[in-house]
A and B are shown apart, each in its own frame.
Chain A
Amino acid sequence: MRNDVNETSHLIGDDGVYENVKIRQAKVFIALCRIITVALAVLGFMALFVGTR
């Protein structure tokens, strides 16, 4: 185990692999940003479609 691994900064995943909490949070944040971006694009497209019909 690496020196920087401690109980608070790591989780154990379902497959038994250590996962860094910060990396996990970053992944969730990136996924959230991408979902919002796609949602905005869909809303924009729908607004244009309905607004110019």
Chain B
Amino acid sequence: MYNIKKRIYEVLEVSSVGDKSSRAYDVMITAAVIVGLLPMTMKGENTYTRIIELFTSLIFFADYCARVYTADYKMGFKSVRTYFAYIITPMAILDILSILPVIALFVPVSGFIRLLKLFRFFRIFKLIRYSKTMIIIANVLRKVKKQLFAVLILIVIYIFVSAMLVFQLEPDLFNTFFDALYWATISITTIGYGDISPVTPIGRMITMISALMGMAVIALPTGIITASYMNEITRKKSKYEL
């Protein structure tokens, strides 16, 4: 028997070879994402950007409803809880957040509405679904999230320690502790704007150590992601060869 729900799910997911309907849908959503981001590249609004906002939001809303409807296929089990489980997945949350900016068309502009408009940015994440390479990268990031979180904690600790040291050693240079945090972050990432720079020998010594250690700490996530990505590629290749 022909299962319409299953067919909708197949169309929504990344297209398989020869599935013209799914391919046409993927192209349409990709176009909607790209065109939907255009208003963010302009300073003001015009009639066309408002039409784009309404039109793309309708497409995204229909896409969201279809994805919720076929959630049982996506999640792999059939139950009422499936739909709730799907709604709280990161991609579903990003989907709903990317629709919210349409509210700005119907209510007066305020600070909150300006913030809401920025949510258009989340639309870019929709493209992840339609690129096999992006799916691999997303899987890799999911696999190494614990290691990345550990490195993030290390970086935050390192920034705080550097900031506290230099804040105590150079009290005249920093008005607030936030300035010291800003300096530590700019130094550790080797950006080095130079708008705040230590003047005492001990402050400069801290800066030198901070910059050297910082390079090693900042390079850690790159190594973790690259190693995991290579493992994933090798695993896929060997699976294909078998």
Contacts and interface: CB of A to CB of B under 8 A. Distances in A.
Judge: A and B partners, yes or no: yes
Interface of A: 22, 26, 29-30, 33-34, 36-37, 39-41, 43-44, 46-48, 50-52
A22 B4 CA distance: 10
Interface majority SS (helix, strand, loop, mixed), chain A: helix
Best-surrounded residue of A26, A47, A50, A51 (most CB of chain B within 10 A) = A47
B210 interface: no
Contacts of A40: 28, 31-32, 35, 52, 55-56
A47 B59 contact: no
B28 A37 contact: yes
A48 B11 CA distance: 31
Contacts of A33: 21, 24-25, 27-28
Contacts of B47: 50
A34 B42 contact: no
Contacts of B205: none
Contact of B42 (A41, A46, A52): A52
Contact of B38 (A22, A26, A34, A47): A47
B48 A46 contact: yes
B59 A44 contact: no
B68 to A, nearest CB: 20
Given A26-B20, A29-B24, A33-B24, A51 B44 contact: yes
Contacts of B24: 29-30, 33-34, 37
A47 B21 contact: no
B34 interface: yes
Is chain B's interface secondary structure helix, strand, loop, or mixed overall?
helix
A26 B10 CA distance: 13
Q: Top 3 nearest A-B pairs by Cβ distance? A: A47-B48, A33-B24, A44-B35
Interface in B32-60: 32, 34-35, 38-39, 42, 44, 46-49, 51-52, 55-56, 59
B2 interface: yes
Given A30-B20, A36-B59, A50-B46, A44 B34 contact: yes
Nearest to A9: B2
A50 B2 CA distance: 47
Given A30-B21, A33-B27, A50-B46, A44 B2 contact: no
Interface string B7-24: 000010000000011001
A40 B35 CA distance: 7
Contacts of B38: 44, 47-48, 51
Contacts of A26: 20-21
Nearest to B51: A43
A50 B39 CA distance: 12
Contacts of A46: 48
A43 B55 contact: yes
